């Protein structure tokens, strides 16, 4: 099978799985707890996701890819306007909720051979989630 066809199938499979903000928040909270308990390595988030969604491997796979895409954007400083302080990763509740909501429902793309979010459309999606929350704050 050709690489482009595999990429297309992977994207179709990942984007077909409905992921909710609550799913991502649940994984992030459990991974944070595992890290606080001393389970700190590069696999903590992946293993946490697999444990939480062991009855739904497609759900776990979609969540892992979405969180990795979000992590890549943060690591590449593409979300600087949404993360306060250089390297502190301290986010206001509205910004964090908007980023997690966007990561849950925004379509994944293949960019330079990696499964990521397209930056500009993802930033617009974060803003769509944040605006109503900001008006109510």
pLDDT in tens, the chain (137 residues): 456 766 789 899 999 999 999 999 999 888 888 878 877 666 777 888 888 898 999 999 999 999 999 999 988 888 877 765 554 444 567 788 889 999 999 999 999 989 999 999 999 999 899 877 655 55
Cβ atoms 59, 17 nearer than 8 A = yes
Residues forming beta bridges with residue 111, ordered by sequence position: 114
Predicted TM-score of the model (pTM) = 0.83
**Token output for 96:** 């964090």
Let me know if 75 is exposed, middle or buried by CB neighbors in 10 A (0-12, 13-18, 19+). exposed
From the CA atom positions of the chain, what is the Rg in Å?
15
What does the pLDDT look like over 97-109, one tens digit per residue?
Answer: 889 999 999 999 9
**Strand, helix or coil for residue 114:** strand
> Where do the domains of the chain lie?
3-136
């Amino acid at each position: 099978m050709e690489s482009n066809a595999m990429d297309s199938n992977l994207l179709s499979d990942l984007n077909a799985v409905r992921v909710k903000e609550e799913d991502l928040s649940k994984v992030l909270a459990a991974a944070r707890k595992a890290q606080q308990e001393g389970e700190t390595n590069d696999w903590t988030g992946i293993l946490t996701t697999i444990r939480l969604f062991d009855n739904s491997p497609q759900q776990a796979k979609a969540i892992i890819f979405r969180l990795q895409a979000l992590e890549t954007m943060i690591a590449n400083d593409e979300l600087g306007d949404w993360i306060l302080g250089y390297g502190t990763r301290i986010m206001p509740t509205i910004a964090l909720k908007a980023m997690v909501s966007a990561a849950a429902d925004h379509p994944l793309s293949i960019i330079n051979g990696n499964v990521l979010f397209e930056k500009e459309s993802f930033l617009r999606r974060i803003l769509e989630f944040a605006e109503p929350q900001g008006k109510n704050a």
